[in-house]
Structure 1
Amino acid sequence: MRKIMAITMLLVTLLASTCFAADWYWLVSTDTASFYVDKNSGQWNGLHLNCSEKIIFDDGNYALYDITYDYSDSHRIKRRQNFIWVYNADGSYIGSDRGYEWTIIPPESVGEEIAHKVFFLFKSRIK
């Protein structure tokens, strides 16, 4: 039983250290929010990029996103919100949701600016 507890504690410690190792990189700010991407999160699968993003709203509330971008058509970049976690300004959890739908990012929008910055940030990791 002690071995099981020791292994469990080791796994929890290892997971906790990797879960909180985000390196948030500022992308853009608007009049209502600031957008960040975790520089440690970019993973390519072909021309699909999966990464973690964070939006901090002016009231201090924030949301963490698991996002996938589809760069297979440079004229129509798509984005899929895989999962979202929402928090109050004090860090208390509000809720979460899954997303499965691909959406086309409108040209010349803040979303397109973010998609381009994220692409160039992780471009060197394409395999």
Structure 2
Amino acid sequence: MAKDRARPFSRKHRKYWFTVTGGMLLIGLLNVGIGMCAYKAPTRNPERIQLVLPPPGTPENAPPGTIGLGEIPAPVMRAFAVAYPRRIPAARKLTVRSETVYELSFTDAGKTTVASYRPDGRLLDAR
């Protein structure tokens, strides 16, 4: 015995063809009408959008002097990794009395630790 399958084009379903097709056409015409009413022609002289992007790796609302991890000198990063293993720092490059200082900070359990290093990797201050 053959399975009783739905036959959308059978006599039984013929009475729904016109209503369903007519409804779909009506919805399509309404969509086209709304689109025609809502369309606004573009201006003749479009303005070019100028993007101002921060350097890659810079967090949003970063304080002045913030640098990316790739810009930290190797001796400074090595000294930080020895003193604070398994920590990823946020770095700032400052100039104090004509000397470059790198401030590396991290937060652990709600406490922020800041360590200041010279470019050769010597620790200046840790707080």
TM-score (norm 2): 0.29
More strand by share: 1
More helix by share: 2
Where relative contact order (Cα < 8 A, 6+ residues apart) is larger, the structure is: 1
